[in-house]
Amino acid sequence: MAKKTLEQYLECPFHLAMSMLEGRWKFAILYVLSRQGTLRFKELERAIPGISTRMLTKELKHLQEHGIVDRTAYATVPPKVEYALTPIGESTAPVIEAISQWGESYIRSADTKQSAA
């Protein structure tokens, strides 16, 4: 199956959004940055249990390329790099919050079912 072009995705905003945010880790990165603000690479890595250094680098690069995350490198020794949400990245906050609320609701539902069993 051929990969869709950006022009094809622009015909459907839902598919465009899903292509920008697909994958296991992007929502975790957005969640942490939206809750904690600007973070250095290692701080971000520690805040996301289970993510590898390689995967965090890859996902941050993808989010950066699409203008969702901003990377600021400082000319210091040792090098200092910080990541933050751009205004477009910050606009995902309602989506992140809705997913978080759904997760809380699901936990309550699962707890209720386990208590009844």
The answer, yes or no, to whether residue 114 has pLDDT greater than 90, is no
Residue 1 has pLDDT above 80, yes or no: no
For 47-82, give the DSSP string: HSTT--HHHHHHHHHHHHHTTSEEEEEE--SS-EEE
Measured CA to CA, the distance from residue 86 to residue 109 in angstroms comes to 35
Q: Is 91 within a domain?
A: yes
- Residue ranges making up the domain that contains 45: 9-116
Is the entire prediction scored with pTM above 0.85?
A: no
**73 domain residue, yes or no:** yes
Q: Note whether residue 1 is domain-resident.
A: no
Q: Domain tally for the chain?
A: 1
Q: Would 19 be classed as within a structural domain?
A: yes
The answer as to whether 40 is a domain residue is yes
With respect to residue 96, please indicate whether it lies within any of the assigned structural domains: yes
- What's the CATH number where 86 sits? 1.10.10.10
